[in-house]
A and B are shown apart, each in its own frame.
Chain A
């Protein structure tokens, strides 16, 4: 056809298009369009424009709008054009209004009438055009106006109309689910439509409906499975083939539906296994669309009740995707891996190198997807490497949207899995430093909370250690230019609370730093406020300690300047500071006790200090307060009353009953005070409010950030996970006394922190330059190291197959407490021989000593193999002894399991034994031990093979002849 120039288009229009095409710059284009707008504005108001001409004007308006300019002056003409009788103009009118108007536009009300008329038209093309408009223009209010007609059109003889009617109803459902909730049966009926196109379209609304409420569509599983089977078997007309694949778009949609229906439903899933397996086999993986279907299959498999055979096929598909050269397929492979990894964590291990390649890939999209995957597979053993990488990447990008995203992920992971407080603080510092403005303020509060409270350590030295290292790090950072405000607030607060606590820094040094901050960020009032308060705390601390306070001259000027500040808040703080300094030491100690930020302020709810006052009042004839429960006549109903009170908002509504008779205002002391009315109205009101008030006051200091934080630090979970419980359990063991204490107390978690960063460091320094050369020949050891640190397992599993195998057998989900302990014990002796390759411990630790934080420095001497071996042994003993206990915990908290995993993997790291005893497998094994989690049991291979076979047999029984279940459809499709 090659209809350049088109038919019926005027020279003017063609010239316009041409000149726009030739425009060299956006400015030139804009100028042309503006000129065109002027012309059209003039032309459109001319009287008696011929219809053909008008149509062209409308198309020109569409063109202007498409180029991003405002053509609203002509909307009304497009609306008028829809009123025209001829399809030829009407179609243009509808096209224009669907492009111009959003569903909330005022002009729509003018079109509804036309649409109603057109839906009744004899000409199906007009009906189609109207339905197109319905899909775009009808909003929640106008749905009722067209709904009956659209429903009627579901039975139209032309399949194109039925299809569009279905889609229109789908749109209605999206806009207002309640409007079409009574029409579900119509959708079900259309599923059996003669025309495959209509059937395919029906899947759209059904997908939505099922998404909302799975349970009421369970009966359709059989139909969907049989449809999918027929589609896959090429029963649909040839025209639906796409690149030799039978109706792939319909297959994909069906797979999406099945994924929803089968999720968490074993019975439904079993009906699907067969057909999904078929598709896996039949799909041709050389075409894009074939891969799209395969990918959807993997999604489906990962969502429904797991089946070992299908998981295997899915794993094959993923392997193929990841090995492919196409970035698109790699991307899908990574995504699919992320979906499957929760079901079978071991699958990640075989692809670790591919994953790392994707992480290194220059393609941002792929990289981000890989980070998503890593995020999903983070556990306490690899959190450091992953978060490190994420932060590195975060620093390198500019896109604020994604930066926020990745920052929140880092914070989330760090809060969940942090191996030590130290590490957490270091990580948070980096995050704040580079993306402080994007971090939720609550994260900062959590950090302060953490520094103030630690994580429930009873050990004071550990505690002060944490603080002083935080202070150290902040003093180092504070000089950096342009720190984000949130971070500065944290710094000021910490320096104020703990700056002088360990006596390492003098008060004048800290105050000098604080002054510098306040001056450097003089237009940030919040920071200044934090700084002044910090100054006050330091001075108070000095005074309480009995030292004389010498205020630096610059502090003095700062305080004076602030006391004349425009901000009343700053003024207030400055005056308070001056007032506090003027007090004597004893008072100051009382006002600002040192290190009390996390202490709860106790409030005696009885308010005893008011007793005198109350007694005096009663003596003077006041009514005594009678507790609600003792009030006569109301003791039983008090509960109800209270409920009423809570429901009725404090501002009382109108009362429709008459008021009771007024009572004597002064009632004698002894009589119980109380008519129904007055007790109902007067007395209970203050009581609950009072209660509420005090409760709020009590809870405030302790949980200031526990409230609405959606990225809240989960302190209780972390407490269990982080260091401490390990220590306590090890100190409980009796096997080794003093030396063990030192080793157990610090080494294992520290070991974990020292070694894993070392791996990534080593990788970064040596890996980059050598990458290209090595890649072709062999897999670089650095990459393997990274892989090992990420995946916890070794990339050279073959070598250690005996070890891994041995462990795996031990890790079989035998479900008993007794087995769990021996399993760990067995692993212990295997660990002891020093590993032959991969990571050399001595070198590693030496290499890493530099950048590490001081507490670890002292311990490096301890890190020789002898002690390590003993520590390992101890740990294993401990955990073995602890076995039953730990098992008891599994029931209620997954954190215990995690901790166990971490515990072990840290030993791994120290030993450089990245082998079968990875935390992944430990997790799996312990998971398998839980009798309640059927899933993991199903999932891991061993003993359930028989079950699976039985299931397969069942599926075969159920799935082979679906025609009996849904004869109508089957007949339809077969013709």
Chain B
């Protein structure tokens, strides 16, 4: 059993875990549900932080917290951790240049998200901060020339870090394409995807060394080149043979 020293810290932690916990109850869990359903069910339904916080204030009892912390006690609670939910590149005209979704969204939700975000982000002034609230998440964006790089993260996450992840990505792109411009990305979007896959995986930054990413990408590319040469030489041979 845990010891919690400060009431406000306890509250914070409740709010914190509430925010990240998406919980629902299994059938075996009936007795638990009947006892605590009142403050819990809304928690299960919504991910709105504020609602959750007010829920947490109703429950100062530590046992609820403990149950929350040890969520696999007997309920099935899904842990949604801090991560990047999606990355998208939007041009100044609102055209999509690249999207990568790390959380599950339907095609409809995707279009809606892009539409809403481009509306918000493109209309923001230059000196404002690079973070926008979006449905309980934070979207961090940065503009490079005519292209906006956006990244959706959790509300509690380090926004400035996300901003630097974006910059990191841009630096790698720059190194790969050699002073990258929007056209490079338009025509080689699949290459940008490969690079992004080396940088981020499952919504987390997997590699923070530019050199390592570059090395991997070039290894893949050279293999591809080899394959291509082989393919073309084979087709040449075939072509010659059939002549």
Binding site for B on A (CB under 8 A): 1-9, 14, 17, 20-21, 29, 52, 59, 62-63, 65-68, 70, 86-88, 91-92, 95, 98-99, 102-104, 123, 125, 128, 132, 135-136, 160, 163-164, 167-168, 170-171, 174, 177-178, 196-197, 200-201, 204, 207-208, 211-215, 237, 239-240, 242, 247-250, 252, 256, 263-264, 288-289, 291-292, 295-296, 299, 326-328, 330-332, 342, 362-366, 368, 401-402, 404-406, 408-409, 412, 416, 707-712, 714, 894, 933-935
Contact = CB atoms under 8 A, between A and B. Distances in A.
B7 to A, nearest CB: 7
A17 B187 CA distance: 7
B216 A160 contact: yes
Leading 10 A-B pairs by shortest Cβ distance? A708-B38, A327-B129, A292-B160, A88-B227, A239-B211, A249-B208, A68-B111, A135-B202, A363-B128, A710-B55
A934 B160 contact: no
Given A7-B228, A328-B159, A363-B128, 19 more contacts: A62-B189, A68-B96, A68-B111, A87-B220, A99-B193, A167-B201, A204-B206, A208-B79, A211-B20, A248-B164, A249-B164, A249-B205, A288-B164, A292-B164, A295-B158, A328-B160, A401-B136, A708-B37, A709-B58
Nearest to A2: B178
Given A174-B81, A204-B204, A86 B107 contact: no
B186 A1 contact: no
Nearest to A933: B6
A332 B159 contact: yes
Interface of B: 2-9, 12-13, 20, 37-39, 41-42, 48-51, 53-55, 57-58, 69-72, 79-81, 95-96, 98-100, 102, 104-107, 110-111, 114, 125, 127-133, 135-136, 158-161, 163-165, 167-168, 176-179, 183-184, 186-190, 193-194, 197, 201-202, 204-212, 216, 219-220, 223-224, 227-228, 231
A508 B8 CA distance: 52
A320 to B, nearest CB: 14
B110 A365 contact: no
Contacts of A264: 2-6, 9
A200 B100 CA distance: 23
Nearest to A14: B187
B129 A412 contact: no
Contacts of A135: 201-202
B182 to A, nearest CB: 9
Contacts, number: 256
B168 to A, nearest CB: 7
Given A177-B79, A240-B209, A1 B178 contact: yes
B186 A21 contact: yes
8 contacts: A91-B220, A104-B104, A174-B81, A197-B208, A291-B160, A710-B54, A711-B58, A935-B5
Contact of B204 (A6, A20, A170, A288): A170
A805 B220 CA distance: 68
Contact of B160 (A167, A174, A256, A288): A288
B114 A328 contact: no
A3 B193 contact: no
Contact of B164 (A207, A289, A409, A933): A289
B184 A2 contact: yes
A70 B111 CA distance: 11
Contacts of B183: 4
Given A128-B216, A342-B8, A709-B38, A365 B158 contact: no
Contacts of B189: 62-63, 66
A60 to B, nearest CB: 10
B75 to A, nearest CB: 13
Nearest to B56: A710
Nearest to B7: A894
A264 B16 CA distance: 15
A249 B161 contact: yes
B161 A3 contact: no
Contacts of B161: 249, 252, 289, 292, 296
Contacts of A213: 69-70
B54 A408 contact: yes
B79 A3 contact: no
A242 B228 contact: no
Contacts of A299: 158
Nearest to B215: A160
A690 to B, nearest CB: 20
Nearest to A7: B228
Given A95-B193, A239-B211, A327-B128, A66 B57 contact: no
A66 B98 contact: yes
Nearest to B70: A213
Contacts of A894: 7
B211 to A, nearest CB: 4
Nearest to A404: B48
B133 A263 contact: no
Given A249-B205, A707-B38, A8 B190 contact: no
Nearest to B12: A342
A5 B207 CA distance: 29
A1 B129 contact: no
Nearest to B161: A292
A167 B206 contact: yes
A171 B202 CA distance: 7
Contacts of B42: 710
Contact of A327 (B53, B127, B165): B127
A95 B130 contact: no
B224 to A, nearest CB: 5
Nearest to B227: A88
A365 B9 CA distance: 25
A279 to B, nearest CB: 14
Nearest to A55: B190
Contacts of A95: 190, 193-194, 197
B129 A365 contact: yes
Contact of B228 (A88, A128, A214, A709): A88
Given A103-B104, A295-B158, A365-B133, A87 B227 contact: yes
A164 B158 contact: no
Nearest to B208: A249
Contacts of B135: 401
A406 B206 CA distance: 36
B21 to A, nearest CB: 10
B115 to A, nearest CB: 9
B133 to A, nearest CB: 6
Contact of A331 (B129, B190, B201): B129
A178 B209 contact: no
B43 to A, nearest CB: 8
B158 A66 contact: no
A244 to B, nearest CB: 13
A845 to B, nearest CB: 35
Contacts of A3: 177, 184, 187-188
Given A401-B135, A408-B51, A412-B57, A52 B231 contact: yes
Nearest to A96: B190
A328 B130 contact: yes
A132 B201 contact: yes
A51 B42 CA distance: 52
Given A68-B96, A167-B206, A291-B160, A87 B104 contact: no
Given A68-B96, A292-B164, A327-B129, A208 B48 contact: no
A671 to B, nearest CB: 39
B49 to A, nearest CB: 8
B206 A365 contact: no
A242 B164 contact: yes
Contacts of B187: 3-6, 9, 14, 17
Contact of B227 (A86, A170, A263): A86
Contacts of A163: 206-207
B181 to A, nearest CB: 8
B107 A68 contact: yes
Contacts of A174: 79-81, 202
A204 B82 CA distance: 10
Contacts of B168: 242, 249
Nearest to B179: A2
